[in-house]
Amino acid sequence: MNSGSIGLIGASIALILMGPIFIGKGGYEIYRTLDAKAWPTVSGEVTTSTVQVKETRRIGKPSSPRYELHIEYRYVVGDNEYSSDQITFGTTNKNSESYANTQLDKYPVGAAVNAHYNQGMPKEAALEVGFTLWTWVNLLMGIIGPLLGVPLIRWTLKTIKETNAEAKEAGLTSRPTLR
């Protein structure tokens, strides 16, 4: 077995194992979004609206910016005031400067907002309760990963078996021998 085969098997196993994680993440986001769509809304006000640019470092690749968006708002339910920084329950694109700027423009400090809040736990709220593109990407990756991983492992193992059989027929061995 060569290093390429080992790499393919490792990648295949990673695809298979990551599938349930992505499905779980996407499924949870869908559940939370559907739940929040039924929540009542209350008027609120944006108290913080900032973005921090951080560099993401990856081995062997140039660093890239990551945009840490922080939107905080306050709202009143009954006699109690609450604050939250939850914009949506879906995953957002933190690598997009335009997304961060759009959100900053949409939610400047002092802006009036409608907060969807959980009646059973009013400190839990969100400004947007729709699905994000990344929710569907998570689900799709969760489905495609195992669908690619299983056949890739089968193909790799079949190729290894055929290669070993051909080597055996030719009188070659894949293991070093002592002379």
Question: Among residues 35, 44, 113, which one has the least CA distance to residue 83?
Answer: 44
Query: Is 110 within the bounds of a domain?
Result: yes
Examine the domain organization and report whether 62 and 108 are in the same domain.
Answer: yes
Q: Which of 128, 155, 174 is the last residue of a domain?
A: 128
**162-177 pLDDT per residue, tens:** 887 887 888 776 555 4
Q: Is residue 21 domain-shared with residue 80, that is, in the same domain?
A: no
**Within a domain: residue 106?**
yes
Q: Examine the domain organization and report whether 26 and 89 are in the same domain.
A: no
Average pLDDT over the chain reads: 85
Residue 122 CA to residue 165 CA, distance in Å, equals: 66
Q: Are 90 and 132 in contact (CB under 8 A)?
A: yes
pTM for the model stands at 0.66
Residues 34-68 have pLDDT tens digits of 888 899 999 999 999 999 888 877 777 888 888 88
The pLDDT of residue 167 is 77
For the chain, how many structural domains are there in total? 2
The predicted structure's pLDDT at residue 85? 94
Q: The tokens of 14 are what?
A: 């990673």
Please check whether residues 51 and 86 belong to one and the same domain.
yes
Contact indicator for 162, 120 with CB cutoff of 8 Å: no
Instruction: Give me the domain span that covers residue 13.
Output: 1-39+130-147
